[in-house]
Structure formats: structure tokens, C-alpha cells
A and B are shown apart, each in its own frame.
Chain A
């Protein structure tokens, strides 16, 4: 059963140019969907449409198989975490978390108990009686999350819920969200700029650009078979290398075809090229922990690749890069993936 069905949704704001251009998306019940895309591509707008906070200009929104275009947000029973938190400034943390439960008529003792337990999960217990003004950014963000978590509902919309947390807390909260998803079996639509979050949380990832849905598929498919050059470059760190195909020895395709090579499919070698390879020069090396990212220059263009720390070549050596053409992807001039093999 599909939990949320978007059919050819168009949306423009009163004064501006169109934001969503006929977007369609079918979200199954219980799925964890992650939406990624550059800033301003319409991610928040999409969430607000599902929430009922904006109206679509055309197209249909179906929630639980029912047409929902005209259903006001308070009747959709959807929990949402806002990008800017939107905490009630006159209420304590506890009241903020319990407000939705109160509106649904839950008794005070019960809803406070629930708020306290949610706060415990989010490590907010010491702040339960504080007002939002007396909290740090990360604490506020967790209250916003708690407000949604306290609601036992079937659809959760989260707009960058972890963006303001430190690394340790973010990893802990990521686990909590995954756990919440497992426990409630709820449908989640989650917006993030963080690739690790996207790849690790999602059942399916939706990649958006300029109000279009470029690809909507499993993390593996998005990573291994990106439908578009933009998708290929957007996910993966360091990003995929793009070179003109004709300048890469052994590559397929001709003019106007771009070859995409992931950094992990490249190896840097010393000495003379044996077989297929590109001579390179190291411009910069970036230490990231176990591995080092090498930024190199070749005749075909710039290349980024990963290299184990023990295998970093000496600076003076003559270097070349070996690549695995069976893993290479090819894109046409419009950026679409083409199948040449």
C-alpha cells in the first residue's frame, strides 16, 4: 500500500518562479525515504505539500490512498520536524513535547510520562522545565525531534533534523531515528544534506534538482547506477571524477561523452604506465584518518582518489593512475547515463 502518493505536482509561490515542475513520487507504507538535493531545489516545499502547509497548483496528493489536496494539516495526522525548529517559546520543553498529545485529549499524567521518556531518549531530561530560549541550538533541535517522536503516528516528515548536532550526538540520534522507524513501522520522509545519513538511513533516496526528481531508487542503485551525471556527482565523498571520454585511454564513447570514475576505483602507481593509465601529478593531499585523499592533475583533467596512508607515493616520483574501466559510467552531453558496453 502506498502511504503517500504524489502525482504530477506543480507548485510555484505567489511571487516567484515555479519551484516544483510536475513531480511524481510514490512512497510505500513503512518506507524510509531520504530526499537530497542542493539548497533551494524544493525539498522543504515538497515536505510542506505533504504536510498540507502549502497547496499544490495542480496534481494530486494522496495520503493512505485518499485524495488529500483539500485536507487541512491538522486532519492529516502527520508529525513534522521543521528546519527552523518552530518551538513554542512560551512553553517548557515538557509542554512542547506533550502539546500534540494534549490536543489529542491524552490525560496529563500519561502525556507527561510520555514526554519524560522521549526526553530521556534524546538526552533532554535536565532541560525538561526550561523554555526554548534557554537552550542551545542542538538542544532546541532535539526538542523539535522529541515533539514529533512523542506522537505515535504513521507518517513522519523531518527537515534536516540533525543538522545542528555535534558528530557524536548526530550518530546517536541517527540510531534513535532508525530505531523509531523500526518500532513504529512508520513512513518517514527525511531531508538531509549529509550523504552518510542519506546512504545509511534510506530504503530509497530521492535526488532532486531545480524542482525535478532526477532519480528515486535504493541507495545501492543510486550509488552504482546513477541515472544522471548530477546524481553521480552529488552522492559519494570525495565525489565521482568526470573526464572527457576521448582523452582517457581505453574508454568507450566518443565526442561529448563523459566518463565517470569513482575515487575508490582508481589506484595511484609509481613508475611507467603498464597497460591503460593516465600520468598524473599530485596537487594536494588531504588527510582524513585511515586514508588520504589525493587531488591530482592529468592531461585529461583533475582527478580525486583515495589512497591508504601507507601507500602514499613519495612527492618526487613519476606517477600514473590505474583505473577499472568495468566500473566506469558514461554520460552524454545532457548528463544522462548512457549504456556503451
Chain B
């Protein structure tokens, strides 16, 4: 390793530590008792995790979050990818207008759609259901926009070759476009998943039953649990936060190697 590279690595590690330190600190905090936290000692314990899972139902919230975010991601990617393919590759009446509308949705703050969405779901009888959590989040204008740009960068000759090989449009999408767009699709998947994982407002509005709480709702509720007058049980909150963060970190490492890298090299002259 050259000296310059060493310097760069050191810099990267230092920056990493700066970004990570609050997270590391909260993880460390989650392993001590509330007692010792407020009195200044350090008394290691797994009790906070036991309480979060046993008493406050965090295993269920974790399941709910995984289920809802997972479904939103899969359904959202399916919709965004097919829409992007259509916008990128087919000539149809009103295409540019429609695409303009999709882009325009990016400019609407999500809070404005909150109440109309609520009323729609209420009328459909979908409040307090998983469907009510998932459905409004499926359409994602940004993902459609981003994937369309990516697909436009793939030589159209590849689609044409596949059609000559006998593929239907859906086969072209699934066998040619999707594998080549994998880095972009994984990036968007991560983006959608994180957005939904951290979503607080919509579950708060759409769900009343505790059985349907997501981690974010459960986490917010913990703030009202006091170990003493005017105090918040921070170690318990941090244990719950750790439960909230770790699956995401783990998931990121799983998909990370798919994120970057273009693979159209060698397709055409």
C-alpha cells in the first residue's frame, strides 16, 4: 500500500468512526441498567432486550416492520420497474404527459396526501390492516423515474435481439432488462425499504391496534414509559432502537455487493 493510500484509509476510518459513534454509543448504552445509567455506574445486562421483547412486544413489531417494508419493497419494485420499462421503451399516446405526472408526484409533500389516503382507506375498510399499511406506499414516483433513466441507458439493440430470439415484451423485461438493471433495482429496493422502515406518520394514522404496530410506533411509545418521575428509560429505548437498526444494517451488507457496477460492457460495439 502506498503512503497516499494509507492516508486515505485512515481518513475514511476516522470519518466512519465519527458517523458511527452515536450508533455505537447507543448500542453500548442498551446493555446497561436504567439504574446504573442514571447513577453513573456501569452494570451490564441483557434485561433491556428481554423487557423490550417480553413486555413491550418488540418481536411482533419487528415482524410487522419486516413484513410491511418487505411487501412494500417487492410490490413497489415490481410496479416501478414495469412502469419504467414502459416509459423507457414503448411509444404510446400520452406517454410524456403521464411520465410528467409521475415526476410531478415527487414535488408533492407526503403530508398532503395523508388525509386523502386516510379517507380512501377508511372507505375501503382497510384501516387497521396490513393492506392498509402496504397499499399506499407501493407507488413510488422516484423509483419509476430513476429506473426509467437507467433503462434508457441500456442499448435498445438488446431488446431487439431478444425479440428476434422470440421473446415477448414481458420476457424481454424479465430476462434482459431486469438482470442488467440489477444494480439500479437493488439500490431502489434499499431506498424503498429504508423509507418504509422509517415511516412513522402513516402507520400512526392508519393503525390503532397494537398487534399491527411497526417498530417506529413501538419505539415512540417507549418514550412514555418512565422508570421514575420525569425520567425516560434510555437504556430500554436504546435496546429497542438497536432492534430497529440491526436488521437494516444486516440487510445492507447482504445487498451491498449488488449496488454499484455497470454490467452492460461488451454488449454492443
Contact = CB atoms under 8 A, between A and B. Distances in A.
A80 B171 contact: no
B155 interface: yes
Interface residues of A, number: 32
Interface stretch (A32-40, A87-95, A214-222, A295-303): A87-95
A103 B155 contact: no
A147 B266 contact: no
Nearest to A100: B165
Interface string A98-109: 011001100000
Given A74-B168, A100-B165, A86 B266 contact: no
B157 A86 contact: yes
B165 A86 contact: no
B27 interface: no
Given A82-B161, A99-B162, A103-B171, A132 B266 contact: yes
A99 B176 CA distance: 11
Interface size bucket, B side? 20 to 34
B75 to A, nearest CB: 24
B161 to A, nearest CB: 4
A99 B165 CA distance: 7
A103 B165 contact: yes
A140 B165 contact: no
Interface in B102-152: none
Nearest to A151: B165
B267 interface: yes
Interface string A107-149: 0000000000000000000000001111101001000000100
Contact of A140 (B157, B168, B266): B266
Max chain A C-beta neighbours (<10 A), residue from B155, B165, B268:
B165
A114 to B, nearest CB: 14
Given A73-B160, A133-B265, 20 more contacts: A73-B163, A74-B163, A77-B166, A82-B268, A83-B269, A85-B269, A87-B266, A87-B267, A87-B268, A88-B158, A88-B161, A88-B267, A89-B265, A90-B180, A103-B165, A103-B167, A104-B166, A132-B267, A135-B266, A151-B165
9 contacts: A74-B166, A77-B166, A78-B164, A79-B164, A84-B269, A103-B167, A104-B166, A132-B267, A135-B266
Interface of B: 155, 157-158, 160-168, 171, 175-176, 179-180, 263-269
